[in-house]
Structure formats: C-alpha cells, structure tokens
Amino acid sequence: MKVNFLDLKSQYLSIKDEIDQAIQNVLVNTAFTAGPYVKSFEDNFAKRHNAKYCVGVNNGTSALHATLMALEIKAGDEVIVPVNTFFATPESVSLTGATPVFVDCEGKFYNIDPDKIENAITKNTKAIIAVNLYGQPAQLDKIKGIANKNNLILIEDCAQSHISELNGQSVGTYGLCGCFSFYCGKNLGAYGEGGAVITNDEKLYKKIMIIRDHGMSQKYHHEIVGHNYRMEGIQGAILDVKLKYLDEWTVTRRKNAELYGKYLKDCKEIVLPEEMPNAKHVYHLFVIRAERRDELMDYLKENEIYTGLHYPIPCHLQNAYKFLGYKEGDSPVSEKYSKEILSLPMSEQLKEDEIKYVSEKIKEFYTNSMFSV
C-alpha cells in the first residue's frame, strides 16, 4: 500500500466543481490582483477567527514581515522567537534589520517555553513571536501575561494553526495580530502561495494594507516605502471555497490523530503527540518522536510510506545565523528533539486502513530490528 504524506489531488477532486467555477469567475471578471474575491475571503476568514480585520497577502513570510514593518521594528531591536519553528519566523525579523533572539521549546508540546522567555528579554526587546506549532496553540495566556508585564508586543505565527483554539478563543486573537500562511500544504492551502494577517487593531490593519501595496494609501500616493505583498485574486477565490470545508476537514484530522493514538499506543519506542489542556489541536502535522528515527524513516519509505521532518536543524544552528554566536547546547530540548521527530502522513484524505498500515509498519520495524540494535 502506498501512503503519501499529503494528497492534494484527492482534496481538489472532492471540491473540483466549486474550485473550477471560482477560478472561472476570476478569469471572467479579470479580478487578478487583490479585488473582490480577495476581499470576500478576508471578511470570511476574519469572521471565522472572531477578528475584526484581515489583510490578505502573497505568503506567510510576507504576513510576518509586513506586520513587523507596520510595528516599526528595525535595526537595533530584538524580537524573541522560538528556536523550534520554520525558518520564516526568524527570517522575517531579520528582514527588518532587527535581531531574532531564540528561546528553546518546552518538553511536552514543542512550542516556545514560557518559563525561558523572561531570561531572554533585554532593553532592546520589542516583541515576542509565539508560534502555534504543528497545529497546536502555544501557551498563549502565559506568554501574553509576560508580554504585558514587560510592555512587549505579542505576535502570533499561526502558519500551521488555522482555526485552532485555546480556552475557546481563536488563535491569532491573543496577540496584537495573527499571521497565517496558505502554502499549498497547509490545512487551508492556496493553489500556490498565500498569507494573511488578522487583528482587532484598526490602526495596524490600515498600515499593513498600505504596506502590502507599495506603501500606497491611494493609487500613486505613496505614504511609506512598502512592498508588493498583495494576494492574487485566484488565490482569494480558491481559499474562500476551501474555507467552507475547513471545519469539516479539521474534524477528520482530529479523528485521524485519535486513530494513530489507538493503533500506536502500545509502541514503546515512540512518543505520540499530546494535546494541551483546554486547547484545540488541528493537526497540521502529526509529529512523533522515535528511537532510531532515520532508520525508521528509511524503512517506512521502503514500504511506500512517505514521511517528513519538521525540523531537522534548529534555527539557532542554521548557517544563516552563525553570526549570532549560538552553539550546540544552547537549546537542549529542541536540539534533542530534532534528532527524534518524525511527521507521519496526515490529512483529511487519509483513510483508517492507511493509518493502520502505517502503524503496523512502525511496530514491525521495531519488532524485526530489536535484536539488531
């Protein structure tokens, strides 16, 4: 049996008629850049997260960068970021000229450790970016308390956590804003790239709207230096269709996570993901920790089971940040986990027999190799 890490084609075919019509509407109306289809999606996406405003942009990195620009984060400033995240999080800080300051993850849920944040705060710290990793919220209530206590701005990186919740409150609304990615493999994915910022702050909303369009408040009137970060009309139309299915797809992802737990609960060589109390995990990724991870990954591939690594090199050890002087041992939890993590196939298209097969092969690997260690 072949089990893909993600099956975007099956997802498309399940809503093909609506998607094709949405694209055709954009073509007929020549609404290619921003425009009414993007605006419709922005309104619906903001509403789904109980936010007042949404700005659609061309990708998730742009969402973070435009936000930091709007907040006037600049050279000489510091922004606290988790070490266990995709590179776009610290990269967006660097794009402003500011310095990312890395904080290790806590041991159970893989998100930034709130207990280590305050030690990283200096007189130059301006903001904290909390990443809601793998589909699970960070400890946003604690982090918000730290930010308020120290007069810092809290930004949420929600690239992997569409419609996730903590204490019944949508991600993206704990901080001043939430930055989303709609890369094609996300729970809510464009057919290419896309991103958005949601906020309840009107001033921030208006400024990001200007930044995404070359700093224009009206055509050819450039108030500030911005970027071309506009969302394409076709992507807005596609996302608006897919948004209608996101709740249903999320229910299925959560059920699939339960099935993995059922079939793998007795496998002592792996650590299954846990859902934080009072959190709604949306399982963008189903990440286990595994003994002999690389060998297991190869064994699964031999059996046509395709997996992923999120992420094999912690951000502070990337070559791009050598100049900051971080070294091995600075973030021991993330460094240890980077050698153990393995992302199993996960999507709303995944079937129970596929989950059972993946689980059987994992257990088979450890059973058949236990005497060859």
Residue pLDDT, tens place only, 59-97? 999 999 999 999 999 999 999 999 999 999 999 999 999
Is the bond leading into 174 cis (omega within 30 degrees of zero)? no
Q: Looking at beta carbons, which pairs linking 181-185 to residues 24 or more positions away fall under 8 Å? A: 181/59, 181/60, 181/61, 181/63, 181/88, 182/59, 182/60, 182/235, 182/239, 183/59, 183/60, 183/159, 184/8, 185/6, 185/8
3-state helix, strand, coil in the chain (%, to 5): 40, 20, 40
Q: Does residue 369 have a pLDDT over 90? A: no
8 Cβ contact list (under 8 Å, min separation 6)? 184, 185, 189
Any idea of the CA torsion for 211, 213, 214, 219, to the nearest 10 degrees? -120
Per-residue pLDDT reduced to its tens digit, 233-262: 999 999 999 999 999 999 999 999 999 999
Q: Does residue 371 have a pLDDT over 90? A: no
Instruction: Please report, rounded to a whole number, the percentage of residues in the chain having pLDDT higher than 70.
Output: 99
Residue with tokens 């918000």: 144
Contact 369, 354 (CB under 8 A): no
Instruction: Please report, rounded to a whole number, the percentage of residues in the chain having pLDDT higher than 90.
Output: 98
CA-based torsion, 157, 162, 166, 168: positive or negative? positive
- Looking at domain 246-369, which of 3.20.20.100, 3.40.50.300, 3.90.1150.10, 2.60.120.10 is its CATH number? 3.90.1150.10
* CB-count burial class (<10 Å; 0-12, 13-18, 19+) for 196: buried
Per-residue pLDDT reduced to its tens digit, 341-351: 999 999 999 99
Residues in a beta bridge with 366: none
Per-residue pLDDT reduced to its tens digit, 171-194: 999 999 999 999 999 999 999 999
Nearest CA-CA partner of 361 in 287, 260, 274, 289: 260
SS (H, E, C) 224-250: CCCCECECEHHHHHHHHHHHCCHHHHH
Residues in a beta bridge with 101: 80
Contact 105, 112 (CB under 8 A): yes
At residue 212's C-alpha, the angle toward residues 209 and 214, to 5°, is 110
Residue 128 is encoded by which pair of tokens? 């904290």
CA distance 235 to 19: 10
The DSSP result for 135-180, as a single string, is G----HHHHHHHHHHTT-EEEEE-TT-TT-EETTEETTSSSSEEEE
At residue 132's C-alpha, the angle toward residues 84 and 119, to 5°, is 55
Distances (CA, A) of 5 to 28, 126, 185, 257, 304: 35, 38, 10, 14, 10
* Mean pLDDT for the stretch of residues 360-370: 91
Per-residue pLDDT reduced to its tens digit, 293-333: 999 999 999 999 999 999 999 999 999 999 999 999 999 99
CA distance 276 to 281: 8
Contact 131, 114 (CB under 8 A): no
Per-residue pLDDT reduced to its tens digit, 127-173: 999 999 999 999 999 999 999 999 999 999 999 999 999 999 999 99
Q: Return the DSSP state at 105.
A: B
Domain boundaries, the chain: 8-103+111-243, 246-369
pLDDT of 247 reads: 98
What's this model's pTM, rounded to 2 decimal places?
0.97
Q: Does residue 286 have a pLDDT over 50? A: yes
pLDDT, the chain, mean = 97
Q: Does residue 373 have a pLDDT over 50? A: no
Could you name the CATH architecture of 8-103+111-243? Answer: 3-Layer(aba) Sandwich (3.40)
